[in-house]
């Protein structure tokens, strides 16, 4: 197996040497700028790139722009190293093919873990791609063989070349054709005149299931598929049929039995069953990967939303620590003054003067007022964090993962909006018109997943327009009879008429390769229609946005679920 090659790009030679030393189990190619890295990438196979984004010559973003086609085509993971968080550069780097980030200073073990994980994913995806291609080729060949077999079988039927023999009621073979001899592995002379069970034994021989016995009792047609073992040991799948044989006077005297070799068909059926099973497993894997990607995106968004309140809570805590140091110093002075007064050891005026000077130095009045502000801000930050955590719990409904229960659709939308905020806040304003709707009986976390997919799709559609101003997403809920409706509209590019009836099909997507699995809306359809007996559809005019409608019964008939 070829040693894995890592391309390290950094204009700091010392950092490059340290990186190369820490990755001793890999073949590390080094480059000091983007142009040099591009040449190495074009001339040598590379399994992963570790890229410093800030370089004096051809920085990391410039390199990614020049190399993104090769990186995407060869599925090369890229880890970008940044000196400090820069959201704009991070977004640009992700768009250009970056997979992960590391902030300086970073731990070598963390880098190794990230590299191992990404290389494992790359290896697995390459192997999966090869296996899928191989299975697709095998399926194509199997279908081709099946078609050829069908043509062959049609030819056999037209030429009456099935195995045929005539047996009288004492089980003696009276007539046999060439094909039958081939099937049984005997010559015609060795079969005619012998008992049928001497030429071809079967579990139904000498039982009421024997075709001869069944024809004797009045049945007009007997058929069965069975396995036959030839004298050579070869096993055949045979389709056997039996009909009554009458003499010239109309008297029933025996049975005409035909044998058709269906071994090839059975093998193709087995191969097709196995291929279908593997394709279903592959589809399940792709769905799971898509969900993991969505969870990763949502987790990044939640982390971003939690970062701000957590940041000023931490800042306030540090400020409060500084204030407490000053106050403890002041408290110590007060204690010393108390001891002087109690012991009457010396004149307290000097100590009082020292305390007043200390109060002025630490600005006691300001600290007193600022502490109130600190606690107020900190309480607000903690409340925001608690709201995000509550929304996450409400979204996932982890206490009811596999259960149907009462669900407030409005609360579900609010929770979903909080958790997906990072997906739309830079591109769209969200307006809600949540009506007075009753609770519905459903699978809460799955319905939340439907809302999440549609909201994120709307935000991404608006984002792709590269508009100067933000777009608008409007969410409405209302009740009509025994149903609750959720209507999610956006003013994005809309959906062309010719593909509107395809958007819920599995693997159908209008996104560029690598940007989507084409399963998001198909999963939404399955959840709403198959699991909740509801309906989901879209109305759209190109250039005027799109509106998705989700119709859910207040009390679904769960017995009718497919």
Place of tokens 């409060």: 320
Q: Indicate the range of 52-66, 309-323, 391-405, 425-439 predicted with least confidence.
A: 391-405
Q: What tokens does 417 get?
A: 């909006």
Residue 269's pLDDT is: 81
Average pLDDT over residues 497-507: 79
Q: What is the side-by-side order of every strand in the sheet holding 5-9?
A: 27-31, 5-9, 48-52, 78-82, 100-103
pTM of the predicted structure, to 2 decimals: 0.40
Contact 79, 121 (CB under 8 A): no
Question: Would you list the domain boundaries of the chain?
Answer: 5-127, 160-261, 289-385, 398-560
Number of Cβ within 10 Å of residue 236's Cβ equals 17
Residue 203 pLDDT > 60: yes
Q: Is the pLDDT of residue 233 over 80?
A: no
Rounded-to-integer distance, Cα 33 and Cα 56, Å: 8
Q: Among 148-152, 180-184, 277-281, 501-505, whose mean pLDDT is lowest?
A: 148-152
Q: CB neighbours (10 Å) of residue 495?
A: 20
Is a pLDDT exceeding 90 seen at residue 433? yes
Q: How far apart are CA 359 and CA 1, in angstroms?
A: 73
pLDDT, average across residues 379-399: 60
Q: Which two tokens stand for residue 398?
A: 């982890």
What kind and span of H or E run contains 154? helix 108-159
Model pLDDT, residue 158: 36
CATH topology of domain 5-127: Rossmann fold (3.40.50)
Which of 81-90, 305-314, 413-422 has the weakest average pLDDT? 305-314
Determine the pLDDT at residue 332: 81
∠99-102-108 over CA atoms, to 5°? 115
pLDDT at 487 over 70: yes
Count Cβ atoms within 10 A of the Cβ of residue 531 and give its class: 0-12 exposed, 13-18 middle, 19 or more buried: middle
Residue 545: Cβ-neighbour burial (10 angstroms; 0-12, 13-18, 19+)? buried
Q: What percent of the chain has pLDDT over 90?
A: 8
Answer yes or no: is pLDDT of 285 > 70: no
Quote the pLDDT of residue 401.
47
Beta carbons within 8 Å of 383's beta carbon, 6+ residues apart: none
Average pLDDT over residues 8-30: 86
Predicted confidence at residue 434, as pLDDT, reads 92
Determine the pLDDT at residue 436. 92
Burial class (CB within 10 angstroms; exposed 0-12, middle 13-18, buried 19+) of 503? buried
What does the pLDDT look like over 97-143, one tens digit per residue? 788 888 888 788 888 888 888 888 888 887 887 888 888 888 888 88
pLDDT at residue 383 in the model: 66
Whole-number pLDDT of residue 553: 92
CATH code assigned to 160-261: 3.30.450.20
pLDDT at 435: 93
Is a pLDDT exceeding 60 seen at residue 365? yes
Please give the mean pLDDT across all residues of the chain: 79
Confidence of residue 156 (pLDDT cuts 50, 70, 90): very low
Q: What is the mean predicted confidence (pLDDT) over 435-458?
A: 88
Phi and psi, residue 65, nearest 5°: -65, -40
- Name the helix (H) or strand (E) containing 34: helix 34-43
**Res 286: pLDDT:** 56
Kindly indicate the confidence band of residue 548, based on its pLDDT and cuts at 50, 70 and 90: very high
465-486 confidence digits (pLDDT tens)? 888 898 999 999 999 999 999 9
What's residue 281's pLDDT? 66
**Predicted local distance difference test score (pLDDT) of residue 484:** 94
Band (pLDDT 50/70/90 cuts) for residue 288 is low
Out of 40-49, 304-313, 367-376, the most confident range is 40-49
Instruction: Identify the pLDDT of residue 483.
Output: 93
Which residues have C-beta within 8 Å of that of residue 230, sequence separation ≥ 6? 183, 184, 185, 236
Supply the pLDDT for residue 301: 57
Q: In the predicted model, is pLDDT for residue 20 greater than 90?
A: no
Q: How far apart are CA 197 and CA 173, in angstroms?
A: 10
Distance CA 460, CA 329 (A): 56
* Residue-level pLDDT at 324: 80
Residue 296 predicted with pLDDT over 60? no
Give 184-201 pLDDT, tens digit per residue. 777 767 778 888 877 776
DSSP-derived 3-state class of residue 116: helix
Here the tokens at position 24 are 């001793």
**Stretch (H or E) spanning 450:** helix 444-463
Token pair recorded at residue 243: 């009909």
Indicate whether 171 pLDDT > 80. Answer: yes
Spatial distance between the Cα atoms of 394 and 416, rounded to a whole number of angstroms = 9
Instruction: Read off the pLDDT band of 349 (50, 70, 90).
Output: confident
CB 403 within 8 A of CB 448: no
Least confident of 337-341, 397-401, 418-422, 449-453: 397-401
d(CA 418, CA 415): 5
> What is the topology classification, in CATH, of domain 398-560?
Heat Shock Protein 90 (3.30.565)
The DSSP secondary-structure symbol of 12 reads: -
β strands within 303-397, DSSP E: none
């Amino acid at each position: 197996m070829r040693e894995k090659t890592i391309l390290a790009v950094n204009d700091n030679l010392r950092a490059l040497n340290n990186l190369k030393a820490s990755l001793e189990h890999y073949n590390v190619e080094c480059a000091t700028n983007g142009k040099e890295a591009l040449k190495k990438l074009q001339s040598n196979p590379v399994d992963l790139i570790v890229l410093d984004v800030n370089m004096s010559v051809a920085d990391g973003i410039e390199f990614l722009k020049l190399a993104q086609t090769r990186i995407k085509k060869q599925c090369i993971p890229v880890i970008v190293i940044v000196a400090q968080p820069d959201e704009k550069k991070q977004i640009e780097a992700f768009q250009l093919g970056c997979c992960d980030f590391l902030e300086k200073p970073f731990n070598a073990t963390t880098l190794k873990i990230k590299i191992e994980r990404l290389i494992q994913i790359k290896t697995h995806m390459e192997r999966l791609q090869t296996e899928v291609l191989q299975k697709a080729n095998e399926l194509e060949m199997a279908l081709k063989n099946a078609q050829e077999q069908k043509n062959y079988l049609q030819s056999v039927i037209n030429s009456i070349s099935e195995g045929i023999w005539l047996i009288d009621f004492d089980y003696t073979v009276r007539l046999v054709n060439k094909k039958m001899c081939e099937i049984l592995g005997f010559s015609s002379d060795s079969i005619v005149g012998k008992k049928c069970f001497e030429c071809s034994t079967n579990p139904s021989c000498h039982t009421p299931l024997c075709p001869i016995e069944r024809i004797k009792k009045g049945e007009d047609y007997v058929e069965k598929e069975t396995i036959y073992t030839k004298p050579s040991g070869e096993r055949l799948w045979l389709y056997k049929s039996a009909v009554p044989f009458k003499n010239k006077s109309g008297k029933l005297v025996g049975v005409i039995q035909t044998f058709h070799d269906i071994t090839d068909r059975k093998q193709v059926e087995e191969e097709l069953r196995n291929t279908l099973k593997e394709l279903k497993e592959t589809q399940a894997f792709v769905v799971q990967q898509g969900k993991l990607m969505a969870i990763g995106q949502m987790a990044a968004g939640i982390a971003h939303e939690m970062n701000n309140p957590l940041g000023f809570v931490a800042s306030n805590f540090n400020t409060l620590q500084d204030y407490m140091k000053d106050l403890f110093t002041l408290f110590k002075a007060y204690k010393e003054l108390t001891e002087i007064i109690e012991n009457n050891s010396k004149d307290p005026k000097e100590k009082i003067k020292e305390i007043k000077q200390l109060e002025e130095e630490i600005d006691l009045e300001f600290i007193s007022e600022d502490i109130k502000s600190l606690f107020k801000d900190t309480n607000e930050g903690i409340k925001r964090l608690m709201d995000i955590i509550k929304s996450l719990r409400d979204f996932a409904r982890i206490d009811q993962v596999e259960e149907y229960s009462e669900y407030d659709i409005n609360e579900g939308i609010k929770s979903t909006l909080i958790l997906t905020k990072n997906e739309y806040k830079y591109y769209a304003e969200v307006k809600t018109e949540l009506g007075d709707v009753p609770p519905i009986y459903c699978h809460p976390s799955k319905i939340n997943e439907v809302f999440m997919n549609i909201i994120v799709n709307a935000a991404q559609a608006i984002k792709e327009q590269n508009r100067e101003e933000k777009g608008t997403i409007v969410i409405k809920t209302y009740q009509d009879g025994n149903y609750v409706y959720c209507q999610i509209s956006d003013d994005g590019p809309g959906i062309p008429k010719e593909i509107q009836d395809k958007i819920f099909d599995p693997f159908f997507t209008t996104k560029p390769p690598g940007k989507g699995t084409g399963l998001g809306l198909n999963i939404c359809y399955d959840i709403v229609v198959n699991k909740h007996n509801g309906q989901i559809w879209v109305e759209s005019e190109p250039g005027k946005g799109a509106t998705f409608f989700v119709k859910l019964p207040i009390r679904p008939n769960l017995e009718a679920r497919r």
